[in-house]
Amino acid sequence: MTSSRMLPRHVRMLVATLASLLVLGGAAVAQSPATGNGGDEDEIYRIGPGDVLRLNVPQLPDLDGELTVQSDGRIYVQQVGEVTVANLTLEEAEQLISRRLQLFDPSVTSVVLGVVEFNALRVFALGAVSEPGAHNFETPPTLWEVLRAAGGPAENANLASCRVITVVDGRPQSRIVDLSGYLTGTGLPDDVLRSGDTLVVPLVADGSVGVPSSQGVQVFGSVATPTTVPIQGPMDLVSVLMLSGAPMTDAKLSEVDWVHRERESGRTISRRIDLRKFLQEGKASGNPIVHPGDVVYVPQERPGWLQEYLPLFLTVITSATTLWLAYDRITEE
């Protein structure tokens, strides 16, 4: 049998045209999503633009080489020309290329296709990670896998308030995820990211810590560092306030608000605490035991009427006196 490579050029062109028509239907079927496996389809890698493929043809070793998937999803294979492989699995692409080659050389029984560089399934990790940027994966990665590929979180990462940005119908959408379990290996969300998704790990504010509210006491108001104070169990209020940098000099310690959620009933209880009673009289009621998940607000002491308006009053008197003296001097002259 005469090899197809010995055929005249015009004959090879005619065969190529017929091949394109014959495999058009087969390519469309190969690119449609397979049915019956449900969630397993998400775990099968599909070829995409930017991937670098390695083609091996045992019967025609001259065709062996690396092929880059172009932005339109096509690769160029010698003798058969352009072949659309985007969104195909490796097995589907092998079958498609094999059928195309068999039209030129029936001795081709199969081809072997592998991925040298996975560039189609690319996820971005930005912010407080050791290696920010794009990271490639063979299968859709979980949030934990993305964070690990990015070298892990930085020391000042706020893992409790990470954000995932994805594009849906051409519009970016974002959601908050709690990755604080990365440090303990428990409680990590099992979300799976897709190509083009972005994980943003924010920085922790100076002096604060990146733990979820359920693992600490949220302290805000007139304190040195409003933050979530991490505690493992019950702790007295004064100790928690000291961990938040202590109350400011203008803090109104006689009206500290404390919100506590009872675990048994789920009921939320709000109380006003007079911390001065503990500091001045040693009364235990002024220094209650708070728990993880509680909220503490330290209000600012507002000045009294005289203290607030005395500077303005003195300014008016001074201005009036100055004007009177100036007028008196003019009239004397």
Q: What is the CATH number of the domain that holds 232?
A: 3.10.560.10
Report whether 179 contacts 105 (CB < 8 A): no
| Shared-domain flag, residues 14 and 102 | yes
| Shared-domain flag, residues 100 and 9 | yes
Q: What local confidence, expressed as pLDDT, does residue 195 receive?
A: 83
Query: In this structure, is residue 207 part of a structural domain?
Result: no
pTM over 0.85: no
Q: What local confidence, expressed as pLDDT, does residue 22 receive?
A: 42
Q: Which domain holds residue 329?
A: 304-333
| Shared-domain flag, residues 154 and 89 | no
Q: What local confidence, expressed as pLDDT, does residue 165 receive?
A: 92
Query: In this structure, is residue 135 part of a structural domain?
Result: yes
Query: In this structure, is residue 55 part of a structural domain?
Result: yes
pLDDT-flagged residues of the chain (< 50): 1-7, 9-42
Query: In this structure, is residue 43 part of a structural domain?
Result: yes
Q: Last residue of some domain: 51, 86, 117?
A: 117
Q: What local confidence, expressed as pLDDT, does residue 200 receive?
A: 92
Report whether 59 contacts 109 (CB < 8 A): yes
Q: What local confidence, expressed as pLDDT, does residue 8 receive?
A: 52
| Shared-domain flag, residues 240 and 254 | yes
Q: How far is CA 216 from CA 156, 160, 304, in A?
A: 18, 12, 35
